[in-house]
Amino acid sequence: MVALGALADEDLGVVYLRAHAYLQPSAAEGFGLAVMEALGFGLPIIHTDVPALDELTAGAAISVPREPEGLPGRLAEAIDAVDGALAERLGTAAGDRARAFSWRDSAEKVWQLHADL
């Protein structure tokens, strides 16, 4: 596992493409944009059970209880579990989930809402 600091946009895509999985050990999240990006790259995702992330991933990720006691161990177990068939299943589920958030679909829904008014 490698922890990276801030990356330029052009480097971020390369990192996502070469990653084995994406880890988001948050205590709180408003939306989870980085998780959304990882979903779009079809990465297996591991995150803490923050409600916003659970809602965003909708079962397409491994959600780990965020209680501080034992968190590093639970995260390590989840990272170790992402291999072979599980990694493939999570990657496929991530790509499927990302398609639920397309800009085109969002724009069409807003357009239709205005048309219905």
Q: Write phi, then psi, for 17 (nearest 5 degrees).
A: -65, -30
User: Do the domain assignments include residue 5?
Assistant: no
pLDDT-derived band of residue 117, with 50, 70 and 90 as boundaries? confident
User: Do the domain assignments include residue 2?
Assistant: no
Domain that residue 72 falls in: 12-116
pLDDT-derived band of residue 25, with 50, 70 and 90 as boundaries? very high
Q: What pTM was estimated for this model as a whole?
A: 0.84
User: CA dist 54 to 60, 73, 88, Å?
Assistant: 9, 20, 20
Number of domains in the chain: 1
User: Shortest CA distance to 41 belongs to which of 85, 99, 84, 1?
Assistant: 99
User: Do the domain assignments include residue 35?
Assistant: yes
User: Do the domain assignments include residue 26?
Assistant: yes
pLDDT cut 70: percent of the chain above it: 99
Give the contacts of 56 (CB within 8 A, at least 6 positions apart): 31, 32, 35, 36, 39, 97
pLDDT-derived band of residue 78, with 50, 70 and 90 as boundaries? very high
CATH code for the domain in which residue 92 is found: 3.40.50.2000
User: Do the domain assignments include residue 47?
Assistant: yes
